[in-house]
Amino acid sequence: MQLSSKLLSAVWLVTAAVSSLGQAQATTSATTTSAATASTPATSTGVPNTFEIDVIYPRNETYNATDTFPVVVAIQRPLVASQMGKFRFGTYIMPYSRGDNPGGIDVGDTMNWIRPYNATVFTDDPFFVIENTDATRWREGVDYDGRGLHALIWSMSWYPDLEECKQKKYYVSGRIFFTIDDEGVNPNILDAAECPFEGSVVQVNNNTESCPAFTVLGKGTGNPCAIKIDAAKATSISSQIASLATPAPAATTTATKDDKDSAAGSLGISIALAQAVVLVSASLLWM
């Protein structure tokens, strides 16, 4: 089906807002905390010169309604992603109140985090993004009870400094559906499948252009099982999630002090831009 005019407007909004993202004011909630951590050494194989985004939690399952909800994403070969420059990575929760139709939630109440990372943060090991979202905020300002179909939407974006690149869109996004129901299982990372869900596989193109160039590959080209979520790893992640269940003075990352200062200065993303990103991601339904 064709994109609606609203979604086309959202695409335009993303493009127009990219150039001013660096000046956006921070909008992260004081009650939402996050952590990102490099994994222990692991073998990560796949198509050469690619990076891969895999979802460890949630999965396409039914979960009980709780006050907090864990989100865990792994980025394989993050150094490849950083070849195109500093990037921002964000996750969002989107309710779907009428089957495949988005629920109209204010993404400002559900945005987990979005911050810049650069090559100084990474090693050759997979990079784990760990969140414990405040599920009570999903229901704010929305005419629904927090049950039903939801989607975890992720977005990785590059914002080149070069003027000639600013009118182009450089982002990768994807989603996975899950359901919230009173009869569902309690969300628990210890119950995560050993093999993550293959999200996005992206090949960085070799060229002489100064602007980023990449190709999103088709499903089945990745190797999510290279991320082994054994009992020890699940326990470690669970401990980090538990530490995020109560408000902390500041989010922690594996970044250096300079990276953190940079993140603090450019962490912000406007609510309008965040809504546009979610609408564009959700528009995959009609493409």
Q: How far apart (Å, rounded) are the C-alpha atoms in residues 267 and 113?
A: 8
Closest CA to 227 of 45, 4, 24: 45
Peptide bond between residue 58 and the one before it cis (omega within 30 degrees of 0): yes
For residue 67, what are its two tokens? 């006050």
Q: How far apart (Å, rounded) are the C-alpha atoms in residues 98 and 96?
A: 6
**Residue 19, pLDDT above cutoff 70:** no
User: In the chain, what are the domain boundaries?
Assistant: 5-286
Percent of the chain with pLDDT over 90: 9
Average pLDDT, the chain: 66
**Residue 29, pLDDT above cutoff 50:** no
The domain defined by 5-286 folds into: Immunoglobulin-like (2.60.40)
**What digits encode the pLDDT tens for the residues 97-145?**
555 545 444 444 444 445 666 667 788 889 988 888 877 776 654 555 6
**What digits encode the pLDDT tens for the residues 239-274?**
888 887 654 444 444 433 334 333 333 333 333 334
The residue among 135 and 9 whose pLDDT is bigger is: 135
The residue among 1 and 147 whose pLDDT is bigger is: 147
Query: What pLDDT is attached to residue 226?
Result: 92
The three-class DSSP label of residue 60 is coil
Query: What pLDDT is attached to residue 192?
Result: 78
**What pTM value is reported for the model?**
0.66
Contact at 8 Å (CB) between 165 and 84? Answer: no
